[in-house]
Structure 1
């Protein structure tokens, strides 16, 4: 299978780019910077997004989706990341993907058709789940939840006597407070449970590695868009900004910096596409590709956003330019998932484990062959 995407997926990317440019132009995003802190509510574009079929693109048609794959969603997320789309698209589609894996079909359909907004807490924080006759009782605080203040349904992890459990909890039963986030266009929220009962039917058959693998792939896909927007902004500026009578893009330092940004973008894209294809593989290959994609894409977004501001010079540091919006988006992604080194260490562990398993399988066969040759 080729590492690239198909022409149909390229056409999908172009259609999404056109839709978001018309529906949520940059001036609409910037309005959120000056808005009072608090809940933004259901975005004005949400119904149109659902009508386009983008919320359930990666889900089966039987569950209200479009019958596509996670790679199709990754292609869409890159374009929405390029536009710094505000709101809970990424958290909602991640929640839908996890609920689909857990077999919670009614909730999946509600998310895929835009009836509910979703969010996912990436970790358990101090949440505990005490078992009851018909479910669990939640207490404690979750880690910061991206777009949690606007969600109707939040996927939470909690520590139970039997280990970590994942639960789909109605946001109305929780205490949710908008946090002062580095990215006010999509702030995080503090989610607290005070003796919240959760029915046993809301217990999800998920494990930590699957949740973090899927989250990593989707955040990485969006980060590719952040990096690509930074690259485009920097190169366009370098062709028109002149110093000493020449475009700054002709200077070696700027030229090489833009080339390095391009390499980072292309590496991240290739790894994300590979990880999205491997989403249904066994935990080892899935985790390895997800860890590499997450590490590379999140670092690429952060470093490209910073390099873009450097190439822009004085204008890049101003509130009026959009460059800081993309740096904010990249910064929050790293805060939620961790920096690239964390994921690279995980990739190294998974690769070493895979190599050890392969050796254990191969060595007995080699020993038998040598014994047979010796007897002969």
Structure 2
């Protein structure tokens, strides 16, 4: 008998959404987002600590034994939607989704060493997997780890498009040692590690190239391949929720503008073309919301079905967000293209998110393989 899937939010989940929405409205308005876009780090470390102290979001997926909240992916989706709606400049996806998921798959010693610091907002972390053009493909990893004294390794190689790699206190790097795939912890101040921020179109989300020149690293244990596979799919599910939040905000902005912008003595929202455009967006976004919710549910309840659900969510949510961001600019007209208006910020985030960890075409191919269809 198939398990029951209920996408109705509980009172606790709705309360979490309300509290976070209020916090972000006060601490992450457009003015703050623009300030952080121009900053070297891309986020405010004091705000990151305050978020941990006030809401404890960094410990959302972390079990209570490590000081976390011990919640699930559905609650993660609630949080990611709000972060996406506000374009929050925070290393949440890299630290509290990617790195945390990897550490939860590691041995108990590594989890105990790093998760409490992440929960407290004292440590930011990221996962360095991609190389070359940035495809998430563990089979293509060429970074080498050579055994050294004391059970440690020396890591040599280059990782590209590492989220928040220029500021992370902890880097969990995927490397090979004699053909074996390993995950190793490298601290930010480790000799032999150099970090180079990327210049990106979307300034609200930062990436970096990390060069390892014999950097000392500590293995974190566990099955590296399985840990990376789960982290990848959980991150895709989380990203899809963020895209839903951004798409919904674009639609809300467009509708509000259409109700208040008058042409020929009437609000432009009364014109059939605008009505149809907004209605089409609503349908796309609701479909994306359902796909995202199913991927998040799968992360908690159906590990076997998660890869397919995550790929489907990435396709659906990427296309919905990009369409919503583009149509939002069109409905706003000339003002939507200007630097002063936030519409272009959502457009850039939509394009960046569409490409992150594979565009829709790549994930459609993955879906066909998972379903054993002919491409």
**1:147 aligned to which of 164, 187, 190:** 164
1:31 aligns with: 35
**1:76 aligned to which of 76, 79, 87:** 79
**C-alpha distance in structure 1 between counterparts of 2:221 and 2:236, whole Å:** 22
1:111 aligns with: 118
**C-alpha distance in structure 1 between counterparts of 2:93 and 2:153, whole Å:** 28
Evaluate the alpha carbon distance shift between residue 284 and residue 148 of structure 1 in structure 2; reply closer, same or farther with a 3 A threshold: same
Question: Are 1:6 and 2:10 matched, yes or no?
Answer: yes
Please state whether the residue corresponding to 2:371 is helix, strand or coil: helix
Evaluate the alpha carbon distance shift between residue 281 and residue 127 of structure 1 in structure 2; reply closer, same or farther with a 3 A threshold: farther
Conservation of the 8 A alpha-carbon contact between 1:167 and 1:204: no
**2:184 aligned to which of 163, 167, 172:** 167
Please state whether the residue corresponding to 1:307 is helix, strand or coil: helix
Larger relative helix fraction? 1
Deviation at 1:217, TM superposition (A): 0.9
2:309 aligns with: 289
**1:57 aligned to which of 51, 57, 60:** 60
**C-alpha distance in structure 2 between counterparts of 1:121 and 1:130, whole Å:** 14
**C-alpha distance in structure 1 between counterparts of 2:6 and 2:224, whole Å:** 30
1:99 aligns with: 103
**2:210 aligned to which of 191, 212, 216:** 191
1:47 aligns with: 49
1:18 aligns with: 22
**C-alpha distance in structure 1 between counterparts of 2:362 and 2:337, whole Å:** 29
Deviation at 1:75, TM superposition (A): 0.5
Please state whether the residue corresponding to 1:144 is helix, strand or coil: strand
- Alignment map for 1:204-283 (pairs within 5 Å): 204-207=222-225, 208-281=228-301, 283=303
**C-alpha distance in structure 2 between counterparts of 1:249 and 1:192, whole Å:** 52
Q: How many residue pairs get matched?
A: 350
* Structure 2: segments with no counterpart, 5+ residues: 133-140
Deviation at 1:196, TM superposition (A): 1.0
Please state whether the residue corresponding to 2:58 is helix, strand or coil: coil
Show CA shifts across 1:148-171 (max 9, x none): 111101222224432433223212
Show CA shifts across 1:95-141 (max 9, x none): 11221122432212221221201122342446512331523321111
What root-mean-square deviation, in Å, do the aligned CA atoms of Structure 1 and Structure 2 show?
A: 2.0
Evaluate the alpha carbon distance shift between residue 236 and residue 40 of structure 1 in structure 2; reply closer, same or farther with a 3 A threshold: closer
Evaluate the alpha carbon distance shift between residue 311 and residue 190 of structure 1 in structure 2; reply closer, same or farther with a 3 A threshold: same
1:157 aligns with: 174
Show CA shifts across 1:228-277 (max 9, x none): 11111111111111222221112222111111211121111111111112
1:130 aligns with: 145
Poorly superposed stretches of 4+, deviation over 3 Å: 124-127, 280-284
TM (normalized to structure 1)? Answer: 0.87
Please state whether the residue corresponding to 1:155 is helix, strand or coil: strand
Question: Are 1:303 and 2:323 matched, yes or no?
Answer: yes
Please state whether the residue corresponding to 1:45 is helix, strand or coil: helix
Evaluate the alpha carbon distance shift between residue 80 and residue 292 of structure 1 in structure 2; reply closer, same or farther with a 3 A threshold: same
